[in-house]
């Protein structure tokens, strides 16, 4: 079993950020205050994904059961256009949408944190941002994992940035090195003192625009000043006796998650057995159909009509699974999007429950690790490469191998489709679970397996997040598996059904909180990362 606390808990990707969140709760802050403080802290201690230069999605359920979902996803610059990454033959140009200034979407995190805090927070923002400022000024010690991550991205940071930064001040970083970020500290102080205007206007905006000019980027002053987060209606679905509350488009993660759960709900998953061939087969066939829908039908709801309610309904999924064959795989080439009218793996997630029962599930990202590799000169923070989450060209895979269609094409001011799936689960009106994960396309499938592990296989939160995972996303037509996720015998059975299997690096880093029958909280912090839980 994971750590158990009596009344409040924070689970995040870094022990220092988790500690910041717990201190806020102990100071009388609520779960939203803690989430905001954890986000600021992750922008310092987890610069590969924690950010002020990216965006995210937040699902909040307050103590009275009211749900709020906030979309602070990045938007395309006003001068962006559908074919901006294509050559005259219509082929994608190199790594334009991945590395450097043209890959950058308008950052949403700072605006998002203020909007969430102003609506739902309790403590002053200065109290919530100060720990991050202190961490940036004093510095913090790199773990082995963080040193490795930073070293792997140094070349792209050096090539993409137009000014030197702390990140590139060493040839190689090792565990135990101290990373001090004085320029970032000064940027955070400007935000503390001027609010969102300390980022979207004034000196920080000037530094972002100067960086864009030096590197040929598209972000303009009007883009920065015009950015607005959006409160969205959540996507809700049921699985057995649970209510699943998750993020609507422009995230696809919630819809993919509930579609797959709907396909599993009609079977006795427990009897089929944990990660046995029949269970894996059915889950993969459900994922295949859900990701085919994602590719064709999903995008920014302010730009394309999306029949979200229909997509997550039981009868729609029954229709999608009608051609399911329990004995053999359906080749992805034969699976197309349904007719509902007839991304990085380097993201970071945190889950928080406070003593009043307010819960926050928040996923935030730069897209790739260290985003576009562009560190804003003299401002000390990394900008996202979120533009790669658009369909750069129809049916051209992005960095996660995901393909898309016109629904997710680039347009000025449009939000790019995401796979993030911050999720809150209730049972008969009571909080049951708070969870989410990084991992690009593997996010909804990681959340799916964690939930099914708890609900159907009776695992504890710690067992559920630690258990090895597998993933399928329609195209490529392969089941990606972690080492030891499926036995040799079951793997063989799946191959005989027509599935291809491929072992890959660890999938996701789920951070979950499970409410035990006696009301205490159990942490599921993922052993795949430096993730840490704490509470009281």
3-state SS of 472-497 is CCCCCCCEEECCCCCCHHHHHHHHHC
Residues 39 and 92 placed together within one structural domain of the fold: yes
Q: What angle do CA 49, 50, 54 make, to 5 degrees?
A: 80
Q: How confident is the model at residue 342 (pLDDT cuts 50, 70, 90)?
A: very low
Residues 339 and 366 placed together within one structural domain of the fold: no
Whether 347 sits among the annotated catalytic residues: the reply is yes
pLDDT tens for 241-278 read: 999 999 999 999 999 999 999 999 999 999 999 999 99
Average pLDDT over residues 411-416: 95
Alpha-carbon distance 379 to 111, whole Å? 17
Q: pTM score, two decimals?
A: 0.94
Residues 270 and 384 placed together within one structural domain of the fold: no
The two structure tokens encoding residue 528: 């795949």
- Collapse the DSSP code of 202 into the 3-class scheme (helix H, G, I; strand E, B; otherwise coil) and give the result: helix
Residues 461 and 496 placed together within one structural domain of the fold: yes
Alpha-carbon distance 319 to 342, whole Å? 11
Residues 184 and 310 placed together within one structural domain of the fold: no
CATH number, domain with residue 499: 3.60.20.40
> Domain span at residue 118?
15-231+348-408
Residues 374 and 336 placed together within one structural domain of the fold: no
Q: Which of 343, 337, 335, 336 is nearest to 390 (CA)?
A: 343
Q: What angle do CA 108, 114, 120 make, to 5 degrees?
A: 125
Residue-level pLDDT at 8: 98
Q: Does any domain span residue 536?
A: no
Residues 378 and 363 placed together within one structural domain of the fold: yes
Which residue is listed with tokens 């979207």?
200
Helix (H) or strand (E) holding 501: strand 501-503
Alpha-carbon distance 66 to 497, whole Å? 45
Residues 252 and 210 placed together within one structural domain of the fold: no
- The greatest distance separating any two alpha carbons of the chain, rounded to the nearest whole angstrom, comes to 64
Q: Which of 101-105, 117-121, 302-306, 351-355 has the lowest mean pLDDT?
A: 302-306
Q: Does any domain span residue 413?
A: no
Q: How confident is the model at residue 392 (pLDDT cuts 50, 70, 90)?
A: confident
Residues 326 and 298 placed together within one structural domain of the fold: yes
Residue-level pLDDT at 332: 85
Residues 402 and 256 placed together within one structural domain of the fold: no
Which residue is listed with tokens 């996202």?
384
Residues 214 and 275 placed together within one structural domain of the fold: no
CB atoms within 10 A of CB 190: 19
Q: Does any domain span residue 313?
A: yes
Q: Which of 361, 388, 408 is the endpoint of a domain?
A: 408
Residues 312 and 367 placed together within one structural domain of the fold: no
- In total, how many domains does the chain have? 2
Q: Average pLDDT, whole number, for the chain?
A: 94
pLDDT tens for 163-207 read: 999 999 999 999 999 999 999 999 999 999 999 999 999 999 999
Residue-level pLDDT at 59: 98
pLDDT tens for 116-144 read: 999 999 999 999 999 999 999 999 999 99
- Say which of 347, 364, 423, 450 is annotated catalytic: 347
């Amino acid at each position: 079993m994971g750590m158990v606390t009596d009344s409040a808990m924070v689970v995040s990707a870094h022990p220092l950020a988790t500690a910041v969140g717990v201190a806020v709760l102990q100071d009388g802050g609520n779960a939203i205050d803690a989430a905001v403080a954890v986000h600021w802290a992750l922008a310092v201690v987890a610069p590969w994904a924690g950010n002020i230069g990216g965006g995210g999605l937040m699902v909040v359920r307050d103590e009275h059961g009211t749900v709020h979902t906030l979309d602070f996803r990045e938007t395309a610059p006003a001068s962006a256009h559908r074919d901006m990454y294509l050559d005259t033959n219509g082929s994608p140009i190199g790594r334009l949408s991945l590395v450097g200034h043209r890959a950058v979407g308008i950052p949403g995190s700072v605006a998002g944190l203020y909007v969430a805090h102003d609506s739902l927070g309790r403590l002053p923002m200065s109290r919530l941002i100060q720990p991050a400022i202190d961490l940036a000024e004093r510095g913090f010690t790199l773990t082995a994992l963080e040193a490795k991550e930073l070293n792997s991205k140094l070349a792209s940071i050096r090539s993409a940035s137009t000014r030197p930064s702390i990140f590139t001040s060493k040839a190689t970083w090792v565990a135990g090195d101290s990373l001090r970020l004085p320029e970032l500290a000064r940027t955070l102080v400007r935000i503390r003192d001027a609010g969102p205007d300390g980022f979207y206007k004034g000196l920080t905006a000037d530094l972002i625009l100067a960086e864009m000019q030096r590197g040929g980027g598209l972000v303009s002053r009007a883009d920065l000043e015009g950015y607005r987060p959006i409160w969205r209606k959540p996507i809700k679905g049921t699985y057995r006796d649970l209510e699943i509350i998750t993020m609507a488009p422009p995230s696809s993660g919630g819809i993919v998650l509930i579609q797959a759960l709907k396909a599993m709900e009609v079977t006795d998953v427990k009897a089929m057995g944990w990660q046995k061939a029949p269970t894996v087969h059915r889950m993969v066939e459900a994922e295949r159909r859900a990701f085919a829908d994602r590719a064709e039908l999903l995008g920014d709801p302010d730009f394309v009509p999306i029949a979200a309610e229909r997509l997550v309904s039981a009868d729609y999924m029954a229709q999608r699974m009608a051609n399911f064959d329990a004995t053999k795989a359906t080749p992805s080439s034969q699976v197309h999007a349904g007719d509902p009218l007839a991304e990085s793996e380097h993201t970071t997630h945190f889950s928080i429950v406070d003593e009043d029962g307010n819960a926050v599930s928040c996923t935030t990202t730069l897209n790739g690790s260290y985003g576009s590799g562009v560190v804003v000169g003299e401002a000390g923070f990394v900008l996202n490469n979120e533009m790669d989450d658009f369909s750069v060209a129809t049916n051209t895979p992005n960095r996660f191998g995901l393909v898309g269609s016109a629904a997710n094409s680039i347009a000025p001011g449009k939000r790019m489709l995401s796979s993030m799936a911050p999720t809150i689960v209730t049972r008969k009106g009571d909080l049951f679970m708070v969870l989410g994960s990084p991992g690009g396309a593997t996010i909804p499938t990681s959340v799916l397996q964690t939930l099914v592990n708890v609900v159907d296989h009776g695992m504890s939160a710690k067992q559920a997040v630690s258990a090895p995972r597998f993933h399928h996303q329609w195209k490529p037509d392969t089941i990606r598996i972690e080492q030891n996720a499926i036995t040799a015998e079951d793997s063989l059975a799946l191959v005989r059904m027509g599935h291809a299997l491929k072992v890959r690096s660890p999938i996701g880093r789920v951070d979950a909180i499970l409410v035990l029958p006696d009301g205490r909280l159990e942490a599921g912090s993922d052993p795949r990362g430096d993730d840490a839980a704490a509470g009281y």
